[in-house]
Structure 1
């Protein structure tokens, strides 16, 4: 497995959102993986994978806007289309690694107002 943590995240998300399969995520997660996020005190690997299995991930769209690696952490800012809700969300994820496996994930998100959901024209981007 690669030691490029950003590439691990890209590959894991491509497999999840491309095929919708959570089984492909399992090799990237430590056995004692922990997830923390809105409404979640902490969940382990099995609970998190089960929760992800219930999401129709193959129907979602994800646009990674920023992916930064710093030591054992990868931070990702993204925009995601939730077809079952009919709107986009802005999400910030922090993935903490131990070695080449994801040990912890923290996520926060919020809906994007409909009038702000359109992509920013390149001429307006720095």
Structure 2
């Protein structure tokens, strides 16, 4: 009797602990849904990095027409909503004279419809180097919304580590 009770207790504890190890979303989601979510995340990540390279690395303003939604929402306080606002802003920064370059993504993190890229812009002329974290929301295969954090790289950092 003791062996049966002990085995039953071990079984109950094992199955209870095993149930805790499975993430909550996985308990309800089917394997197919998990795969579909993963594939969507990867597609959004590829879309954002390609769009970013074409716009900022290749200095190609027509990338906005290909990859940004008509009703694009901008959270940067220096800009208004819409693709035309981004075009005007970048033209004001002199994008037409930017050299083309391969964008070096320090980090690319994605989950579902959100993609975050971190890049470091080198110093040029009187402009200091900057580290930029851009967060994009993708909807229906287009960049629909954007947030960013831009921080100058100090010339006199207290520690020797990079900001990226």
Partner of 2:104: 63
Comparing both chains, which one has the higher relative contact order based on Cα–Cα distances under 8 Å and sequence gaps of 6 or more? Answer: 1
Q: Mark the runs of 5 or more structure 2 residues left unpaired by the alignment.
A: 1-39
Partner of 2:45: 6
Quote how far apart the aligned CAs of 1:115 are: 4.6
Identify the structure with the greater strand proportion: 1
CA contact (8 A) 1:66 1:77 kept: yes
Q: Does 1:105 align with 2:143?
A: no
Quote how far apart the aligned CAs of 1:60 are: 7.8
Quote how far apart the aligned CAs of 1:98 are: 0.7
CA contact (8 A) 1:89 1:109 kept: yes
Structure with bigger gyration radius: 2
Distance 2:58 2:144 in 1: 23
Count of residue pairs the alignment pairs up: 116
CA contact (8 A) 1:91 1:107 kept: yes
Quote how far apart the aligned CAs of 1:81 are: 2.2
- Runs of 4+ in structure 1 over 4 Å off: none
Identify the structure with the greater helix proportion: 2
**Could you tell me the TM-score, scaled by structure 2's length?**
0.60
**Could you tell me the TM-score, scaled by structure 1's length?**
0.76
